[in-house]
Amino acid sequence: MHDKTLTELAAGLRAGDFSSEELTRACLERIAEHDGTLNSFITVDEEHALAQARAADARLRQGEAGPLTGIPVAQKDIFCTDGVLTTCASRMLENFIAPYSATVVEKFDAAGAVMIGKTNMDEFAMGSSNETSYYGPVRNPWNPETVPGGSSGGSAAAVAARLVPAATGTDTGGSIRQPAALCGVTGLKPTYGRVSRWGMIAFASSLDQGGPIARSAEDAALLLGVMAGFDERDSTSIDRPVPDYTATLNDDIRGLKIGLPKEYFGEGLEAGVAQAVEAALDEYRRLGAEIVEISLPNTHLAVPAYYVVAPAECSSNLSRFDGVRFGHRCEEPEDLEDLYKRSRGEGFGAEVKRRIMIGTYALSAGYYDAYYLKAQKVRRLIRDDFLRAFEQVDVIMGPTTPAPAFRLGEKTDDPITMYLSDIYTIAVNLAGLPGMSIPAGFVNGLPVGLQLIGNHFDEARLLNVAHRYQQVTDHHLQGPAPYV
């Protein structure tokens, strides 16, 4: 069962070929067998998962099943889950049992999905390699000596290794798309506001967005249909109807105009990745699409703007973790100042501290206008570049990452080089656009991702364009040798 897509598993459950309990037990057995190597899970909740599976089987027998009823799903450990450990991969929250569930978790529960556990991630979603986790790095199933990407690396690795058919992720600057690319799976970051952030522990509130990670665009369409929707508890949630994302998957894409930003094919892009993207574009030409060269002239400003905006918001959001109300608390503090300093010093890792310091500096008196305000103005320029491009084209394509997965430890001592791993993804978050990464081939045995970017709320088109490509290629069906 482990090599079936979510769509195939859903069909098998409805047909009675196997039960949700059997499927859930199979996933739990694979996690027990393989996750010692991968470290993709922080928490596996066997008792809760089997209880949900039995409830799903009852719904299936009564003919009340939806598309995800009985399907095991992993939640990134940034989503609060009632009664279950929610750590954000940080020592700060190593003992935090959430007293409520995030909206995304509630939606999966209502759909009858089975929560198998919580996946490992970069601490507080800050990282591009999944090496900043308090629980140790996640390893890429294609080569355990390489990173899976971050911050949703645990979710991507678990799906790639067939431990679970699907998982959730969050994307602040590429944290769904980048690990999806490096692990050879499909990942979708929806339009900002399309998926509720309520109960999702905040990193940078104007950038964070939850989304699905699965093996195919068809699977991602089913997942997004459950995750998306207005939530009055989230002030950034958009009150807009949710379409049936599966209804247009097979639409003809002849005449589709694909924009190719010239800025995405310059210095820093590995030749093998460029060749894989070109081969994917050739497939789209054969499907009847037209390739149009476009320019996104402010692309080079995306990384510096992001690394002012995101740390500033992170500095504000993480100020609540002070050792007083919840989270890690130091032993025997001498006074309140000592409590704050030692609790935060012990609870946060190096990368989180770095970003808090940068953000606090950018927001400090005398620097707000020079840094944060200017970064927000640049953000508007980047958004306007995309909107002008979408007057000419339907979809924008390019590489998801400049190179395949790099080796563990290779960039940990060079934060700037690490930050540049997200050079093609960050602008999408700054503009609030939907983007996705789909498998597009291999370089030296490691997966390469093709990035698709759409206009606001154009997820259905992205899924359609991705699905048509996956109908004529098999990159998304290939898996790492030890796990297939």
The catalytic site residues sit at 76, 151, 175
Per-residue burial over 310-344, b if 16 or more Cβ lie within 10 Å, else e, is bbbbbbbbbeebbbeeebbbbeeeeeeeebebbbb
| Integer Cα distance of 214 and 220 in angstroms | 6
Q: Among the residues of 364-474, which ranges form H helices?
A: 374-389, 415-419, 426-431, 459-472
Q: What Cα–Cα distance (Å) separates residue 233 from each residue in 223, 227, 237?
A: 21, 15, 8
**Three-class SS of residue 407?**
strand
**Three-class SS of residue 214?**
strand
User: Rounded to 10 degrees, what is the CA torsion of 340, 346, 350, 356?
Assistant: -20
Strands 210-214 and 166-170: antiparallel
Neighbours of 371 (CB within 10 A): 21
| Integer Cα distance of 221 and 159 in angstroms | 16
Q: Find where tokens 């095991």 sit.
A: 72
| Integer Cα distance of 300 and 128 in angstroms | 19
Q: Find where tokens 């990282």 sit.
A: 127
**Three-class SS of residue 372?**
helix
Beta bridge partners of 347: none
- DSSP-derived secondary structure for 130-199: S---TT----BTTBTTB---SSSHHHHHHHHTTSSSEEEEE-SSSTTHHHHHHHT-EEEEPPTTSB--TT
What backbone phi and psi angles, to 5 degrees, belong to 309? -65, -50
